[in-house]
Amino acid sequence: MSFDLVLFGGTGDLTWRKLMPALFQAFRHGSLPKEGRIVGVGREAMSDAQYRELIRSRFDSVELAKRPTGDEFERFAALLHYLRMDLSEPADYQQLASLLQARQAGTVVMYLATAPALFTGICENMAAVGLNGPQTRVVLEKPLGHDLASNRAINEAVLRVLPEKQIFRIDHYLGKPSVQNLFALRFGNSLFEPLWRRETIANIQITIAEELGVEKRGAFYDSTGALRDMVQNHALQLLCAIGMEPPINSHADAIRDEKLKVLRSLKAWTPETLKQHVIRGQYAAGNIDGEPVKGYLQETGVNPESRTETFVALRAEIANWRWAGVPFYIRTGKRLADRDAHIEVNFRPTPHAIFKSPQGAGNRLVINLQPKDGLELHLLAQGQDNRQGARTASQTLAPVQLDLDFDKRFGTERVGAYERLLLDVIDGRLNLFVRSDEQEEAWRWVEPVLDAWKHDAVGPRPYTAGTWGPSASSAMIARDNHWWSEES
């Protein structure tokens, strides 16, 4: 299978940090089609050889297991080419068209690893030189807009030059092996489906926590914030995977239809719920792993008077027959106490207790996303009491745990998120990509929160770096007599 993969932003941070390592892993695993070419596009003037050397040097920053040997890189580098372009200059697109049309690859992937403000212009200029044929696929990175109106404008512009089936809106969380196993857990096994409903589940928690601050992305992050950066896309996609009804088959639109129903069923915000069920925070100076770190307002590129949130916690409900009354808690933030992403499903207690059990103990299913990758099933079991030599059954239950580590079970077979998604684009599989109507519904739900914050004189609540965020987050969930996982 022949393909050309064009990386707009070919010298940028996303390309060398995520895309090139993923493409190399696919090459190393033998899953990247052999008749391929990767074309980096950038403003700088350089030759193919100079571009290959740039990418080779960047691999020094990649984790050791994913770095190529000298021989591996020489073979991989043969796929790499470079084209200088000014993306705002229509005439430069004719160079790209000539380069691609000379080879006539079976599939052409245009990966827009650029600022979203450039998406519309790139797509229009591609179409102007005939690069929007049936063999073309366009990958759009998040954030796709900064609100509902800008998201619609981008989607409408792209849809004017390409049909929906050729547009791949990427959310790398959907490519994570653990998220794939969430779908397998729900729809490939009969064990949990009868329990996956309001009668047996008390609450569901989604946590996406980072120890890192904004690093070198201060200026970008200050115009984005945690709600746009993490909740509107990653967290809501996870909520959809948990809450959706079983699709009729595994085809892309069958899955995306069910996710759309979840987004449309999210209970609308009211002035009261916006005050009680949404917490925003901003990290102040503190300590991470015993080392002092500065606060958000002291970060490079951040406005010293910024009101941008680095932490969000909120309570959502899916207003349908399966989930009515079950709270879904979402929290995400930077400079938190740990790097941890997981989904916790908390089951209701037994209707009639005949044993004693520790305070707060109960049945939980934990789906670990990062850095661990696997499942934990928390149960209660009866031990033995040997006091005074008596071997009698204890009337007190103790917590026990079944732990499945996917890395240990499938270690050599694991495929990273970007590797999986890039291969899916080349193969034309849309299952793990987001449709335009999904994105619009997600923006429609978060927009009232953004609007409320514009008129909020208080601003984000400060929290010390290295903690789990503002105490108001714990108070929010405690009002329902629930606790975040590290507090239970």
Give the C-alpha separation, 122 to 141, whole Å: 13
**Residue 165: both structure tokens together:** 């089936």
- Is 234 noted as a catalytic residue in this protein? yes
- Identify the bridge partners of residue 381 per DSSP, sorted by sequence position: 398
Pairing between β-strand 136-140 and β-strand 107-112 as defined by DSSP bridges: parallel
Give the C-alpha separation, 344 to 315, whole Å: 14
Residue type for position 392: T
9 phi-psi bin (left φ>0, alpha ψ -120 to 50, beta other): left
* Cβ neighbours around 352 below 10 Å, total: 5
Give the C-alpha separation, 346 to 367, whole Å: 11
Annotated catalytic residue: which of 234, 342, 378, 482?
A: 234
Give the full edge-to-edge strand order of the sheet including 107-112: 80-84, 35-42, 2-8, 107-112, 136-140, 167-169
The closest of 337, 305, 301 to 215, measured between CA atoms, is: 301
Q: How distant is the alpha carbon of residue 10 from its chain centre? A: 22
Give the C-alpha separation, 108 to 132, whole Å: 9
**Active-site residues: which are they?**
234
